Structure 1
Amino acid sequence: MPAFDSAPCLDCLVIGAGPAGLAAALYLARFKRRFLVIDAGDPRAAWIPTSHNIPFFERGISGREVLARERAHARHYGAEIVEGKVVRLAKRQDGIFQAWVETMPTAESRSFDVTARRVLLATGACDVEPDLPDVSDAVRRGLVRYCPICDGYEAQHKAVAVIGRGARGLEEAAFVARTYSRDVTFLTLGTPLDIDDAGWALARQHGIKIVEEPVGELHVEGDRIAAIRLESGAEHGFDVIYSALGLTLRSDLAVALGADHDEAGALIVDEHNRTSIDGLYAAGAVVRGLDQIVVAMGHAAVAATDIHNHCAPPTQEEP
């Protein structure tokens, strides 16, 4: 492993190697910047079985294939990607960022710190997993889907269930019902549905069936949950199940520095994807807005270009 502790100050440190982080790496490499990507190894995009709304892949492409192609593309131009986790990020009085990295547990693993003039946070988010009987990590395993924007087209005219707890989840069920299918059921998994009159009116308007009873048993067929049996014994069959339980945003490093964020922890950025902390950028799911792979890549392109434009020429050393 390279001796990062004694390395010169980087132009940029990219934290995260999902679609946003890897797209940023490609741009920075082609801009001939001095940078490093830290990969914690758990990109949410890897959970996508097949996406059909990424341009150029009309037959669909898996999240893992997207990541593999992006990684190979960035490395083709010399991008360096290190498996590890940034456990702390600080900004010194001279404006330089310092990050403490713990590498993955291998025979050669160790910790090191790295300095950079700018940081791009592309740490993403993690879906809240539904509490289903005898099935753990249903979203990660692809048994429950999480993005009807990505693959709702393939669910049109099918029996669709949406798991949620309140108004926000019901709005996602309404999105599916008004766009793709008139056979939509909203499952609260035993949690009483707390919505106002407008919420109930929305459900009636789109013919959404509400099921608040706890789930007692699941019937799994291959890579999907084909049916659920309620505790009362009633059984419902579905072609596709989506989770609308929300996200846990991985914005802790930026929030600890005082970056502006909303109530969910999503970072607020400007038109150049700059956060409220000078020199700190953010891209992808960790940013407030539409959570899509192509949007994340766009964030990265904007941020990386702005980083390049505000850095000294590559041949000029730090004063």
Structure 2
Amino acid sequence: MDDCIIIGAGPAGLTAAIYLARFHLRIRLFDCGSSRAAQIPCTRNHAGFPEGISGKELLVRMLTQAEKYGAVRELAEVESLRLLDNGFGVRVGEREHAARTVLLATGVVNNRPAMPREVHDEALARGLLRYCPICDGYEVTDKRIGVIGTGSHGVAEALFLRGYSADVTLIAPEAHDLSEADSAKLDEAGIARIDGPCGSYAIEEELLAFDTARGRLAFDSVYPALGSVIRSGLAVQVGARADANGCLEVDDHQRTSVPGLFAAGDVARGLDQISHAMGEAGVAATTIRNLLAEQKPIRR
């Protein structure tokens, strides 16, 4: 039986793998290969990299560090999780692995605009499409910004980006659904609002352009504010509590409501940032080590 199985190999999962491997624990690390961090073309918000670093390069460095201490990543998707008398059963294909503890670091998946994959990926790589204003709002300072969304979530993102530029437009995917209070906030901030439908996305003259109810518009950068899917299903299978959005509820030590099951990173309720995910993983890994030591002393 493994001491801990880590599900997910983004910044949280890899940080936990480094810690747990250096604690001389028996661990497995499963990676389905879809970390959101891998899609970041360059982050300049992560401490220690003044010139920035791509998400893929950061993950490669972290994996190299984890492997140095004996961690092994297996490219496989975990299909189910179940409770055992003394731990958990983790199903991967035809195999089931038993572990005393499990750390879920499965993250979230952004809801994307309805645009062709090739346009999406090129726009993302060139900074014409962005998903995290906290991470890279600085890069769009004083540029023309479009926000695709509506309701309170879209309004909040547009208002946040108003701190970087005076030229912000909120475009609804279809038609706007705004309260009087939210409309007043947009008016006070000088944020234009336009109805959709949005379509025919294309990169035109170094801008991302698409159709709207007011014709074709183009922006230096576009932020989709369409929400995300929280990948917490495995934890919910075994009874872990989650909020209405699907984020797992954890305590100060990253413990879910199920004993022995931990969560770190974007799948847990909190700030969706690489640095925050790494910090949570360090807390979770140390708590896991101490929990296991209470059950059976760790000795060399």
Q: TM-score with structure 1 length normalisation? A: 0.87
Report the counterpart of residue 3 of structure 1 in structure 2: none
Cα gap change, 1:246/1:140 in structure 2, threshold over 3 Å: closer, same or farther? farther
Work out which of the residue numbers 274, 279, 283 in structure 2 matches 1:298: 279
Q: State the AA in 2 paired with 1:226.
A: L
Q: State the AA in 1 paired with 2:169.
A: T
Work out which of the residue numbers 34, 39, 47 in structure 2 matches 1:47: 39
Q: CA deviation at 1:216?
A: 4.4
For 1:310, what is the secondary structure of its paired residue? helix
Work out which of the residue numbers 118, 125, 134 in structure 1 matches 2:108: 125
Cα gap change, 1:231/1:216 in structure 2, threshold over 3 Å: closer, same or farther? farther
Which whole-Å deviations, capped at 9, do the CAs of 1:8-38 have from their partners, x for residues lacking one?
x111110000110000000001111111101
Report the counterpart of residue 265 of structure 1 in structure 2: 246
Cα gap change, 1:287/1:198 in structure 2, threshold over 3 Å: closer, same or farther? same
Identity %: 45
For 1:284, what is the secondary structure of its paired residue? coil
Q: State the AA in 1 paired with 2:90.
A: A
For 1:71, what is the secondary structure of its paired residue? helix
Report the counterpart of residue 242 of structure 1 in structure 2: 223
Give the CA RMSD over aligned residues.
1.8
Any conservation in 1 of the 2:119–2:202 contact (CA below 8 Å)? no
Give distance in 2, aligned partners of 1:154 and 1:216: 25
- The range that moved more, 250-259 or 161-170, is 161-170
Work out which of the residue numbers 65, 70, 79 in structure 1 matches 2:62: 70
Runs of 5+ consecutive residues of structure 1 not aligned to the other structure = 1-8, 103-110
Give distance in 2, aligned partners of 1:137 and 1:236: 16
Give distance in 1, aligned partners of 2:249 and 2:53: 30
The structure carrying a bigger helix percent of its residues is 2
Cα gap change, 1:291/1:84 in structure 2, threshold over 3 Å: closer, same or farther? same
Cα gap change, 1:85/1:140 in structure 2, threshold over 3 Å: closer, same or farther? farther
Q: State the AA in 2 paired with 1:125.
A: V
Cα gap change, 1:97/1:73 in structure 2, threshold over 3 Å: closer, same or farther? same
Work out which of the residue numbers 168, 175, 180 in structure 1 matches 2:153: 168
Any conservation in 1 of the 2:140–2:165 contact (CA below 8 Å)? yes
Aligned residues: 294
Counterparts of 1:1-319 in structure 2 under 5 Å?
A: 9-92=1-84, 94-102=85-93, 111-132=94-115, 134=116, 138=120, 142=124, 143-177=128-162, 179-189=163-173, 191-221=174-204, 225-230=207-212, 234-311=215-292, 312-315=296-299
Give distance in 2, aligned partners of 1:137 and 1:126: 18
For 1:287, what is the secondary structure of its paired residue? coil
For 1:201, what is the secondary structure of its paired residue? helix
Runs of 5+ consecutive residues of structure 2 not aligned to the other structure = none
